[in-house]
Chains A and B, each alone.
Chain A
Amino acid sequence: MKKYAIAAVFAAFIVLVIGIYYVQAAGERNPQFRLVATEGDAKEADSLVLWGWYTDAPYSERVKVSASGSRYYGELSYFGRMKEEFIHNVPPIDRLVRQYPDFMREDRTADYQDDELLVRVKSDPWFQADKADATRGLAFDFLDKRTKRTRSLRADLPENAAFNGYGVIDVQRSGDSFKVAMYYENLRAGGTRGTPEIRIYDVNPENGGITGSVTVDSGLQPADGQELILREVQSYDWTLPSGYLVLDASLMEVRKIDETESANGVRASAAGQVEVERRLVVYRYDTGTVDVVTLPVEPLNEQTRESLYRVGAEVLRIRLSSESAVIQGYGLGDMKLHYEKTLSARDLQAESITQSVAGPNRLYLLLQEQDRPAVAAMDPEGGNIVFRGEAALDDAEEGKSASPLLNNLRLYSLYMRE
């Protein structure tokens, strides 16, 4: 009997200790925050999720802060963590995974969607029995949203020996055909690059036949010692139909930027790429015309960074330093400079501007106030600040001193809640 009693005590010890540990662990919570509107329509905050880190030395923990509260990674349930580790925090893709899980399981990307179709296009070289070299081509996956039927198609691309690398950058539907924008590049030995090219192919979705193609000419031709860089300027949800392909074209020149001579006469020089010309290039899918706007070239210093965003019907060029944001808004329709604004951190009632992030119809500036992170939303059409919000201590934390806790919170990016 005594042995039974000891075994029972041992079992009770195990159950109690582990049980109490997990009950207490579930009750341990980090400070709870909330995004509150301080200016403008509070509804703007409803769709925002800011994320970053809460640091309580020596540990840091991932946290998301929204108008409905904060969510720490460590406080998620077992399945919540599983989901959190899987999602991309790229809402267009996460939404498609939710809506069309079977289609998206193949490859969690998509390039185009409208009311009828969801389309994924991969640049995919494949080998054919009668050819020694791989055939360059496109692999299409179509999902009919109504019937949920899927279909795949391969389209052979014409040989283009001048380039050794290629990829899909945009897909649009135009009547009965698809327009696929391809980026071609030529990587040379030694790490240098040849002049890249953007080519748009018309693809028949029934048989994969290429019915036409056109090269998007940026008008920039690199001379010796120069390099052309082409980047696509994407919108927040690039899968939605769009009439434009927007490119950021930079002509870079390799220049000697520093030369030193050591005491024993050995000369060392440092070279860097310097931007000499920059253009915004817009290809219109309906007319096949190209509009080019020359952007002023302004050298960046170490504290400044520059980004181009496509927000709504505007292309925004933003030069950001911690003290200020210089924003130029170009209309996609008329390709004219609509406005240029300089917003200082002080204008935004902040100590510094930490990041710019594009949403579907707003440009967001992440700010750091003296003791807390904040966010400002800009209307891309007029360049006006329409909303300002900041992290605040949640009502549940009543009685606690907000400042030291908020000071531990750093928010680095945001996405839109669906």
Chain B
Amino acid sequence: MNRYGKLALIELHRFWKVYAALLAMTLVSQAGGFFYHLRTYMNGVHRQMAERGFRTYQEYREVFRGGETFHSFVSFAEPWFSGPVVLCAAAMIFYVFFIWYRDWLGKNTFIYRLLMLPTERLNLFWAKLTAIMAFVLGLVAFQIVLLPVHLWMFRQIIPPELGISESIFAFVRNHRLFQILIPGTFPGFLVSYGTGLMSVTVVFASVLIERSFRLKGLFGAILYAAACGTAMLAPSFSDRLYPLELFWLRFGIGILLLAVSVALSWLLLKRKITV
């Protein structure tokens, strides 16, 4: 456990600068883009009001379009809002591979030192898996924290006559991207991110296959990942199964793939992996 903890800390530490940059980019892009858009909108409103001699926002609303929602303003501020989320997701997908390859391809072949540590080699696998999941969930949590901040900014800048502020939950439920990022129910969240966890172990196993057998391993890795993907998707092609049966079958397959990927990774790390 102690070794695992230390390795996990190393993995977290090695990525923190990039990770902090991703968080900062999300904050600046969303808050900055949203603020800029809200200010531009209000400047336009004030200019129109001055030109037409309106004294209240209500008068403006009666003539011009008003009563837009937080969701609408977020949509107008795209891609500054969803863009960083997509970029962070892409960065995490890239890092699922890079977290292994940097140890081989970086300076001083760091994997040599990692594999020589007097500890169970599988701890290395758990540490990297922990780091990936922590980074992903950290991004989700950071986004959840940012949403009320954006809503607060919206309420501060847009007067109630011109803007309708819905709840964060209603916004998330109805936003194309955020409803995927933050599923509507907690079991849905566990299923989504559990599937993500299983997928990461499959990718890790594939990377280790490739690292163990090099060129031949590359084909093996692609084959393994494709076989896992097919196994996960196969039940969907049956129209004989009821939804709950389909769910439990997929759940069982997911658990099996997770176990197989971990076992395969353990075997490869212990017996086959070369530096």
Contact = CB atoms under 8 A, between A and B. Distances in A.
Interface of A: 3-4, 7, 10-11, 13-14, 17-18, 21-22, 24-26, 28, 56-59, 74, 77-79, 81-83, 85-86, 97, 101, 105-106
A3 B13 contact: yes
B237 to A, nearest CB: 15
B105 to A, nearest CB: 25
A85 B247 CA distance: 13
B240 A105 contact: yes
B241 to A, nearest CB: 7
B12 A7 contact: yes
Given A59-B174, A101-B242, A14 B187 contact: no
22 contacts: A4-B9, A7-B8, A7-B9, A10-B138, A13-B141, A18-B140, A18-B189, A21-B144, A21-B182, A22-B185, A58-B72, A59-B174, A74-B184, A77-B185, A77-B187, A78-B187, A78-B188, A79-B247, A86-B242, A101-B242, A105-B240, A105-B241
B93 interface: no
A83 B182 contact: no
Contacts of A77: 185, 187
B173 interface: yes
B191 interface: yes
B169 interface: yes
Nearest to B186: A22
B167 A28 contact: yes
Nearest to A82: B243
B159 to A, nearest CB: 17
A387 to B, nearest CB: 35
Interface of B: 5, 8-9, 12-13, 69, 71-72, 134, 137-138, 140-142, 144-145, 164, 166-167, 169-170, 173-174, 182, 184-189, 191, 240-244, 247
In terms of DSSP, what is the predominant structure of the interface of chain B?
helix
Contacts of A22: 185-186, 189
Contacts of B187: 77-79
Contact of B69 (A13, A57, A79): A57
Given A3-B13, A7-B9, A14 B138 contact: yes
A85 B173 CA distance: 17
A83 B245 CA distance: 11
Given A21-B182, A58-B164, 19 more contacts: A3-B13, A7-B9, A7-B12, A10-B134, A13-B138, A17-B142, A18-B144, A22-B189, A26-B186, A28-B170, A58-B72, A59-B170, A59-B173, A59-B174, A74-B184, A78-B186, A78-B188, A82-B244, A105-B240
Nearest to A106: B240
A29 to B, nearest CB: 10
Contacts of A13: 138, 141
B164 A4 contact: no
A273 to B, nearest CB: 37
Nearest to A19: B186
B185 A78 contact: yes
